[in-house]
Structure 1
């Protein structure tokens, strides 16, 4: 009898899809593609980026299929995420342009699917490590591009949105398109690099160099939101450390006290908003945002419950976005606030669902980080805090990088603490990667 070639063995392809090596490579590929989406589109075109995302979705579906015996359907996707995406899909029927709205929803759902796959094939430590590895490369590339444009050649790179102002100490944009996006990514990187340092998952020299790189680019971005993000995340780190070092029987009262302090702080910040804005030197920028938000509220009154339809980033010629920009004599691509943007596009129903998605994920992640010994569990709530704070000034959490990170954190938080644990104990998060992926 003639032996079959090894490559024709029935289970070789299944073994490949369920392997730890492919899970790691896939996670790096997804994070690299989404974080570098602006550069990919500018260099290779939108079709190239879409092709990459479609290919990754197909591979991800195969990976989940090979792990179907290990993943419970009821634990696959957070309920709040499914309901939010369902309402966004329903909005296609009353959108001002059903075709554009549908394709925007497909893009949103595709990025959410990629995040769900990563959440099920990698554990929290592996996910944080992958984010750290990707951001080290992309922030290093950003610095290299800025040195080339601002020092060596002393000329802007318009196709990348790089102004070449490094010699003037900024603002710089890197390969992320805008200074605000670079600042946002740098803060996410700082959180990740510091977690890597605390968990000793990379060499100390690499951690320190990474923190210096991210911190330097955050400062050079001259983004008015970076300082707010840094302060917010810093306070969250202090609060989480306090909770983790408090006796379990006293944590409940402390958590309530911290919640009350947050509410009081928000009220105080709103009352003192003008002095704070003047101190940050962001008066003009904030005034522009207030004008935009007031205009958004004017249009929300026409469709307060259901909104104008889901588009994510604003199509310049669609309504009501084109009219808003016309009245403001501006070219805004978003509402510069994720909550106002959701309110405009999906109405009050959509806003409630979006807040429920973010809040549920944050509460679950915060409680897990408060109770579990490993510091790696702090990564998820700290990333969520950065996303939520940034959502007050930008709409990054609705598209691209921000949206994928929000869904990824929601999936990780749901696997750590969920009502599903009561009905599906074997699927509970034990800190190990799915499918035996130990690498």
Structure 2
């Protein structure tokens, strides 16, 4: 027997097995970023990211013949990244802005690579596999801290409150981040279950684990997100079950109901806040946003430069924190206010345009395609955007990566570029008489 032929580097990079391994590693790095930083430092996380970017570039180079470069990245995302890079010119601290820009570009690039080398089902499966491990690890860490050692793990941000029913943080440092990841995991696990892409017992255990951590996090944000996702999923199910010729009328009716619910929520916001037990959190955010708006007026159009997470010792962030109270905040606790202070009105308009376009495309795809798989993208986008009202996660690390991934995935299916691909009508040939 002849020896098996060894694969070349190009063949390895072009293989399906390598693409799966790359996607799983990228998602594990993005979701597990807080754990990596707490255990081995930010330099290690940066090194891993640089390695993934270089490997991803090599994979795209090897697969360049099969890529549609005109669909490589949505124009709306490209505009946001371009404006973010330009903010280096007027930043209040160009060194930190340079670091923040490269971080945003890195996570965006990972998302784009995955969108081009993995299809929708493969992407959902990769995220599901990663989140199963990370959520299980969170439970283990909480049990070790709260039960076996009965001591907080300060180096991980774990307070050891699991025996008291929470709040727990898992490996994600804060209860709100654990809640967000658990909601994304819940959406992913349900889609896996409905598409029968994993065994039923594993799906049931995964869903139960995500629900348990949402409850144990005691995060008001997570409770709101579950409600928003449930309402969105129900709305999507109604639209999908409607006959195509009636869908526009149904969608308009449901949109009117959503607007009505938002109005009711605003009218009864104080009662809702008291019911959620989030009065203190809202008061803190209100003080922070009022201070932020004062400084955004000084540079309204371009902002103070992109930093990602705030540099608390840099202007204007230290001054905003000083005016808002004693706490040191590393974000505006609202993605839209954060974009306003860092990238100005121009950046905010670009962000709203990109988010609205991505959500519209993803929603239309989900209502038109038969498979429930296509519901994952709009539901995750809705989760990220709803969370953006109370956190700035969508602007950094895994939040930004998922945002770009969803926008790119939606743009691959529905885009103005379809007009370029459509066959042109042929002129009727004139036959000699």
Report the CA distance between 1:6 and its aligned residue: 5.0
Conservation of the 8 A alpha-carbon contact between 2:214 and 2:223: no
Alignment of 1:138 with 2:113, yes or no, is: no
Return 5+ residue gaps in structure 1 as ranges: 427-439
**Which of the residues 168, 172, 179 maps onto 1:172?**
168
Write the distance in 2 (CA, Å) between the matches of 1:267 and 1:293: 21
Q: In the alignment, what sits opposite 1:436?
A: none
Structure 1 residue 68: deviation in Å? 1.1
CA distance in 2, matches of 1:226, 1:51: 32
TM-score, normalised relative to structure 2: 0.95
What SS class does the counterpart of residue 419 from structure 1 fall into?
coil
> SS where residue 251 of structure 1 aligns?
helix
Q: Which residue of 1 aligns with 2:228?
A: 232
| Aligned equivalent of 1:429 | none
Q: Does 1:424 align with 2:428?
A: no
SS at match of 1:310: coil
**1:353-364 superposed matches below 5 A:** 353-364=350-361
- From 186, 191, 194, the equivalent of 1:190 is 186
Q: How does 1:31-430 map to 2 (within 5 A)?
A: 31-328=27-324, 329-424=326-421
* 2:183–2:214 CA contact under 8 A, matched in 1: yes
Q: C-alpha offsets along residues 347-390 of structure 1, whole Å, 9 cap, x if unaligned?
A: 11100101111111110000000000011000000000100100
| CA RMSD across the alignment | 1.5
User: Which string of whole-angstrom CA distances, capped at 9 and with x for unpartnered residues, describes residues 99-155 of structure 1?
Assistant: 110110010011000000000000111101111000000000000000000001100
Q: Distance in 1 between matches of 2:225 and 2:113?
A: 28
- Any idea what the Cα deviations from partners look like across 1:363-422, whole Å, max 9, x if unmatched? 000000000001100000000010010000000000111111111111111112111122
- Alpha-carbon separation, structure 2, partners of 1:144 and 1:166: 11
Instruction: Please say if residues 191 and 373 of structure 2, whose CA atoms lie closer than 8 Å, have aligned partners that are also in contact.
Output: yes
Shift, 1:295, TM fit:
1.0
Q: How far does the alpha carbon of each residue in 1:259-314 deviate from its partner, in whole angstroms, 9 at most, with x for none?
A: 22222222221222111101111111111111111111111111111111100100
Count of matched residue positions in the alignment of Structure 1 and Structure 2: 421
Q: Could you tell me how far apart the structure 1 residues matched to 2:245 and 2:107 are?
A: 40
- Give the TM-score of the pair, scaled to structure 1: 0.94
Distance (Å, rounded) in 2 between the aligned partners of 1:253 and 1:199 = 28
Partner of residue 22, structure 2: 26
Secondary structure in structure 1 of the residue aligned to 2:150:
coil
Detail structure 1 runs of 4+ shifted over 3 Å in the superposition.
none
Deviations 1:191-219 (A, max 9, x none): 00000110010000000000111100110
Distance in 2, matches of 1:267 and 1:401, equals 31
Distance 1:377 1:186 in 2: 20
Larger relative CO (CA 8 A, sep 6+): 1 or 2? 1
The answer for unaligned runs of 5 or more in structure 2 is 424-433
Quick one: distance in 1 between partners of 2:148 and 2:248? Answer: 57
Contact 2:56–2:110, Cα closer than 8 Å, also in 1: yes
